[in-house]
Structure 1
Amino acid sequence: MILFGRVRMLLLRTIAYLIDSFILFILVIAGFQSFLLITGLHPFIGRHLYSISGNELHIWLFASIIIPVYMYFVTMFNTRAQATLGMRAARLQINTTGRIGIGGAMLRALIMLVPWELTHIALSYPKPFWVAHHLQSPLLYIALSLTGIYWLLPLLNLHGKSIHDFITGTIIIRWHMPPTKKP
């Protein structure tokens, strides 16, 4: 794949990820979190922000955001289309020698979300980000560096693969609809 093709594919992958992020924001953040606030089931309701520990924040982020987002990607990667809703909108899909399977989908999603989880850890410890200054956290710089590597790697190899593609033996391809039959 020539450089222009890799740049185009990276742009499509980025658009797909932004669409997925928007969908996940609506479902997980706006939907789920609002539901918990309205019902009074949110664990931090009625508590002063400074009384929430880093451990509590991280467990909450992990249980209410990370796991649902992870499950979204695993489920979507493991569908017959082997694509998330954002990938479908951008007409992309995961291509392997066969189906990616649940194990491959789980590994791909896990690797893909590592920088995101490192950011959550960095913002939770030793104290929540609203209590302590976290811009000097080495984990934030590691997460930012990993994000840059994840984003640049597809430009630097001939097949446009990112880290999760290399590890799971997958590649992202353009999805072409089969021709329709004329009446």
Structure 2
Amino acid sequence: MILFGRLRMLLLRTIAYLVDSFILFILVIAGFQCFLLILGLHPFIGRHLYSITGNELHLWLFFSVTIPVYMYYVTMFNTRAQATLGMRAVRLQIQTPGRMGLGKAMLRASVMLIPWEATHVAMCYPKPIWIDNQLQSPLFYTALGLTALYWLLPLLNLNEKSAHDWITGTNVIQWQVPTSKKP
């Protein structure tokens, strides 16, 4: 029965992450990237796809995707609800002693996005993935291993904590609806 509860929580956390990913895709990719394309400010306009280097691609991904996504998570973790929009949709919140605070929100978001950024690195180096298929690259397997570890960690410990929960001393719980005190 304990394993069922862990699987349920992992499923809720996964759904929350997918909801957040969809929101971020709409805002960052469909919104911001298209806006830059329309204005002609996208740095790869007019360039042949095979002329883009791994460094250029990684810098572009880091500043136009990773940083906005990071800021979303930091902002959401630091709200009074201590939950992202996806977490709110499935009624989860981050439990901390007191308010999370900006420093802890930044640390939690940084640790949480390590596998994500490792995937970006694997896609960009030594050459962008469309130039050289990196499915045999050690970078790709490192990113895949980190992702699997982050996903499985809540199942493997009694506190159902992921890596970012362990490092920041937080825990994800079912949303605690505040009870009103009646006089």
Please confirm whether the aligned pair reaches a TM-score higher than 0.5, indicating the same fold: yes
What code does the residue aligned with 1:108 have?
Answer: R
What code does the residue aligned with 1:136 have?
Answer: Q
Aligned equivalents of 1:15, 1:8: Cα separation in 2: 11
- The C-alpha deviation readout for 1:143-169, integer Å capped at 9, x for no partner, is 111111111111111111011100100
Q: Secondary structure at the residue paired with 1:158?
A: coil
- The C-alpha deviation readout for 1:21-62, integer Å capped at 9, x for no partner, is 000000000001111111111000011111111111000000
Residue 176 (structure 1) shift: 3.1
The equivalent residue for 1:71 is 71
Gaps of 5+ in 2: none
Aligned equivalents of 2:123, 2:15: Cα separation in 1: 26
What TM-score results when the alignment is normalised by the length of structure 2? 0.95
Residue 177 (structure 1) shift: 2.2
Q: Secondary structure at the residue paired with 1:93?
A: strand
Q: What is the percentage of aligned positions where both structures have the same residue?
A: 76
The equivalent residue for 1:80 is 80
The equivalent residue for 2:6 is 6
Aligned equivalents of 1:108, 1:174: Cα separation in 2: 19
Aligned-CA RMSD value? 1.5
Aligned equivalents of 1:6, 1:52: Cα separation in 2: 44
Q: Secondary structure at the residue paired with 1:83?
A: coil
The equivalent residue for 2:141 is 141
- The C-alpha deviation readout for 1:124-154, integer Å capped at 9, x for no partner, is 1121111112111111111111111111111
The equivalent residue for 1:132 is 132
The equivalent residue for 1:44 is 44
Aligned equivalents of 1:153, 1:67: Cα separation in 2: 25
1:27-42 to structure 2, matched below 5 A, reads 27-42=27-42
Residue 5 (structure 1) shift: 1.2
Aligned equivalents of 2:71, 2:174: Cα separation in 1: 24
The equivalent residue for 1:171 is 171
Aligned equivalents of 2:122, 2:153: Cα separation in 1: 24
Residue 179 (structure 1) shift: 4.7
Aligned equivalents of 1:82, 1:158: Cα separation in 2: 22
Aligned equivalents of 2:181, 2:105: Cα separation in 1: 33
What TM-score results when the alignment is normalised by the length of structure 1? 0.95
The equivalent residue for 2:115 is 115
The equivalent residue for 2:99 is 99
Aligned equivalents of 1:114, 1:181: Cα separation in 2: 42
Judge which range, 21-30 or 172-181, deviates more: 172-181
Gaps of 5+ in 1: none
Aligned equivalents of 1:137, 1:70: Cα separation in 2: 26
